[in-house]
Amino acid sequence: MFKFLNALVFGGVVTVWAFQVQMTPETAFKSYDDGLFKPIETLSALSENAFTTMGHPNFPNYSVRIKKSSFCDKTVKSYTGYIDINAHHLFFYFFESRNDPDKDDVILWTNGGPGCSSTVGLFMELGPCRIVDEKGPKFHPESWNSNSNIFFIDQPADVGYSYADFGDPISNSHDAAKDITAFVTIFFENFSKFKGRAFHLAGESYGGRYLPIFASDIYDHNTKLVDSGLTPINLTSVMLGNGMTNVHLMLEGYYKTTCSADGDPGIYDISTCVAMKKGLPRCLKWYKESCVDQFDHINCAAADSFCELLLAQPYYDAGKNPYDITKSCSPEELENSLCYPALEHAANYLTRDDIRHKLGVDPAQNFTRCSEPVANAFIASLDMFQPTHLHVAALLERGVKVLVYVGANDWICNWLGNEAWTLDLEWSGQEVFKKQQLREWQVDGKDAGKTRSTGGLTFATIYGGGHMAPYDRPKESLELVNRWLRGEEL
Q: How far apart are CA 472 and CA 477, in angstroms?
A: 9
Active site residue 205: yes
The one catalytic residue in 97, 148, 162, 205 is 205
Q: Is position 290 annotated as part of the catalytic site? A: no
Query: Which positions ≥6 away from 280 have C-beta within 8 Å?
Result: 251, 252, 255, 310, 311
| Helix H or strand E segment including 433 | helix 430-435
Task: In whole angstroms, give the CA distance from residue 425 to residue 422.
Answer: 5
Amino acid at 402: V
Cα separation, 176 vs 374, whole angstroms: 12
Catalytic annotation, pick one of 63, 221, 467, 472: 467
User: Position 370: which residue type?
Assistant: C
Active site residue 262: no
How far apart CA 191 and CA 65 sit, in angstroms, is 13
Q: CA–CA separation, 129 vs 142, rounded Å?
A: 9
Among residues 216, 410, 472, 477, which one is catalytic?
Answer: 410
- Contact yes or no for 402/458 (Cβ under 8 A): yes
Q: Give the SS3 label for residue 152.
A: strand
3-state percent helix, strand, coil for the chain, nearest multiple of 5: 40, 20, 40
The helix (H) or strand (E) run that includes residue 254 is: helix 247-259
Give me the numbers of helices (H) and strands (E) for the chain, helices first please.
16, 18
The residues annotated as belonging to the active site are 205, 410, 467
